[in-house]
Each structure stands twice: as structure tokens, then as C-alpha cells.
Amino acid sequence: MAANGWPGLPATVKSRILSVGDLDMHILEAFPPSYDAASKPPLLILLHGFPELAYSWRKVMVPLSTSGYAVVAPDLRGFGLTKQRNRTSTSKKITYEEDLYPYRILNIAADIVALVYSLGYTSVEAVIGNDFGSPVAGYCALVRPDLFKSVVFMSAPFTGPPALGSGDPNAKTQLQQLDAALNTLNPPRKHYMVYFSTPEADADLSNPPQGLSAFWRTYHHLKSADSKSSNPPKPLGTTFTPTLFEALPYYYIMPRNQTMPECLAPKAPTAEEISQNTWLPDEELAVYLSHYEEGGLQGGLNLYRCMAESPRWTEDLKIFAGKQVEIPAMFIGGAQDWGVFQFPGAVEAMRGRACKSMKEEDFVLIEGAGHWAPQEKPDRVVEELLRFVKKL
């Protein structure tokens, strides 16, 4: 499905492929109405998460661009129409056996730095990341404050670089330690990020027994404000204990013996609930499904593997231990998104340690939004983003 035929994508949002390092990177871009090739309006970079695409920003790009900004949203490495040129595999889909090294988060941040220069810019007004795009934006801000003037984290609080640690390459990651503790619960549980890191996850998510459309409709529904949960999101304190994590929804802390499709199947939305969805109609969900069918999900899952599989994939972050984000920072989350609070103490760490400058007014939870705020409540997201960047 060609980008210019995607439903819900405004006609003024253009799609192109740009050579960026070892990538043929797909980007969506929108410009102010008075834009001409010689002008350089201030640049906003929008970074999606998992299982998203540049397309996930479709509802906010034009409102931001008409406010005077050049707005660029890439498909990140491993996602969508972005392709790595020097892959060793001949498979059209990224496989579990391929080299994980390019998917380190610092390398993804380097992709974004290279994108900025490929666009002909030497300054970015704000780098804005949702879900997994949030830590990517965080490392862009941490490493290149000369290039990025401000940063906005969405859905996932940025807690800063890891501590120095022991340097033991055989040590367990924090997620592996947590997952082992969850296995001691009755009944045994597992962490979804560790599950996403397994060899089976791509096939599970790409070929669910209930069908691709039904599964991903359920996934998006349950993590949105449309899901009327009896367990609303709330801070869980600051201590990592297995019993504390039991308060999280089942799609974060899963039954040990179930796949994600098996876990979600009993919670599928009703036909009436689907008909009432206004932010992700079937034809727009189909854009995501076409990418999942064609390219699989392993590229995106590799980002989780680098967090969960081994300390060696985050070894290059040690040099930044103790370093703060010094540029102005903002956080936007959905008030109905458990992702904001899924790691105890993350919000406190972001506001008190990781960021040198995050004002009280710039920690925003949007009512009526879950995990997909740029799609569920685009007007509110645009309002808050413009309020923030106009202060710079």
C-alpha cells in the first residue's frame, strides 16, 4: 500500500525515501503553508513507538506544520518502509537470527542525528518520542544538546542512562531479574518485554489464532481510553517487588504459559465497542496490518531484545552514567495509560534525576487518552506541544 493512498493521511503530508547512513529511511513530512525550498522553518522530529509507524503521527502533523514548523516523522530502523541496505539475510522479513547490533538504542539515536543532517538542518526545535520513541528522543537529547533544543517524552518516562554496573557481560538484565521474580508468583507470570524478546514472539504476533485484524484491534483497544478498566492507572510507588507488579494489567504482566494473542483473546472488544471507535477506524488499522503482513514485527521487537537480552547491548550507554538531560523537557501521557506507571519510580526518576529542567506545567496527563494519545486526542497533544515549543 503506497503512502499516498493511506486513509487518514492528509494530502499535504508527503512521503519519501531518504538515504540516511546505512538506511533507506521512509519519512513523512509536512511544511508550513508559506514554505518554499529555500526556507528553513524550525524543525520538529516525531518518533513513533512499537508497534507503530510514522503514520501514527498523521493527525498532528498538519496542525503543527500550519503553526510554522517543518514536521518530519520517520519509520524507525526495523519498522515500516525503512530498510537497512547491508543486511546479511536475503529474507524480505527481518529474522531473529540477524545481527542485533544495529538495533542498540544509541544507534537508533544516531540514525535520528543522521536524519537531521540529511534534511539539511543543524538545529531541531524539539525531538518528540512516543512509547519506544521516548527513550530514543531521550538519548538524542542527552548526547546532542547542541543539535536538539528541547525534548518531549510521551507515554514512557525517560529515566536516564543506566548506572555503571559491574561490567559483567554474563550478568542478568534488570528485566531478566524482574521476569525471574515474576515466575515465583502464584500463578507464575512473565514480563511482556521479556516475552517480546523471545524467538517465538514475531510469529505469535504476526500469525495470531484469532486473525491479525482481531488481535491488533484488541491490542489497540485495551491500551486505549476506550477500554473501561476497573483498574485505572496509578503510581505504584518506587520499589521493584513482584507483588507490586501484580497490579499492572495482564498485557504487561502476562500469564507465564500464554502468548500475547492468547492472553488478550478473552478481552476482545464487542462489535458495539468497535463501532464506537472514532480514532482508529478499520481502514486505518489496515495500514498497520499491511506492514505487519509484509515485513513482520521482528525489527521492532529487536529494540526490546536490546533491553532485555543481555547487558552487552547497552554497554555503550555506560559512558553517560549520571548525565542529565540539560535541555528543556516535557512529558505527555494519557491519563488512562498504564504505560506511564508500569515501572515503579520511573516518573519520579525522570522528573527528579534524569531531567535538569522539566517544569510542573510540562508534566501533562491528557484525560480521555490511553497509550495512543497522538491518535486518540490529537488536538490536545498539538495544544500542549505548541504551548511548550513556543516558550523556547
Return the HEC string of 154-209.
Answer: ECCCCCCCCCCCCCCCCCCCHHHHHHHHHCCCCCCEEEHHHHHCCCCHHHHHHCCC
Predicted local confidence at residue 239, as pLDDT: 78
Predicted local confidence at residue 91, as pLDDT: 84
The residue to which cell 546479511 is assigned = 88
- What is the torsional sign of CA 124, 59, 289, 198? positive
Q: What angle do CA 218, 219, 223 make, to 5 degrees?
A: 110
Residue 341 is given by DSSP the state: G
Predicted local confidence at residue 63, as pLDDT: 99
Work out the mean pLDDT of the chain and round it to a whole number. 95
> pLDDT by residue (tens digit) across 113-172?
999 999 999 999 999 999 999 999 999 999 999 999 999 999 999 999 998 875 666 678
Predicted local confidence at residue 238, as pLDDT: 81
Q: What is the DSSP string of 313-339?
A: GGGGGGGGTTPPB-S-EEEEEETT-GG
CA 207 distance to own-chain centroid: 22
Q: Where is 125: in which H helix or E strand?
A: none
Amino acid making up residue 245: F
> pLDDT by residue (tens digit) across 218-228?
999 999 999 98
- CATH code, residues 14-166+319-391: 3.40.50.1820
> pLDDT by residue (tens digit) across 70-105?
999 999 999 999 999 988 888 889 999 999 999 999
Q: Sorting pLDDT into bands at 50, 70 and 90, what band is 237?
A: confident
Contacts of 207 (CB under 8 A, 6+ apart): none
Residue with more model confidence, 387 or 175 = 387
Q: What percent of the residues of the chain are helix, what percent strand, and what percent coil, each to the nearest 5?
A: 40, 15, 45
CA–CA dist 308, 97 (Å, integer): 16
Q: Sorting pLDDT into bands at 50, 70 and 90, what band is 36?
A: confident
Predicted local confidence at residue 172, as pLDDT: 83
CA 216 distance to own-chain centroid: 16
Cross-strand bridge partners of residue 331: 153, 363
Annotated domain spans of the chain: 14-166+319-391, 174-302
Q: Is the pLDDT of residue 2 over 60?
A: no
The pTM (predicted TM-score) of the whole model is 0.97
Q: Sorting pLDDT into bands at 50, 70 and 90, what band is 378?
A: very high
Q: Is the pLDDT of residue 59 over 80?
A: yes
- Contacts of 12-16 with C-beta under 8 Å, sequence gap 24+, read 12/62, 12/65, 13/58, 13/61, 13/62
Residue with more model confidence, 302 or 309 = 302
Predicted local confidence at residue 166, as pLDDT: 56
CA–CA dist 31, 12 (Å, integer): 8
Helices and strands in the chain: count of H runs, count of E runs: 15, 11
Predicted local confidence at residue 358, as pLDDT: 96
Predicted local confidence at residue 121, as pLDDT: 97
Cross-strand bridge partners of residue 26: 17
CA–CA dist 106, 112 (Å, integer): 10
The residue to which cell 557481560 is assigned = 169
Mean pLDDT of 324-334: 98
> pLDDT by residue (tens digit) across 156-193?
999 999 988 756 666 788 899 999 999 999 999 999 99
Residues in the chain: 392
Residue 135 is given by DSSP the state: H
130 and 48 Cβ atoms separated by less than 8 Å: yes
Residue 124 is given by DSSP the state: B
The residue to which cell 486473525 is assigned = 211
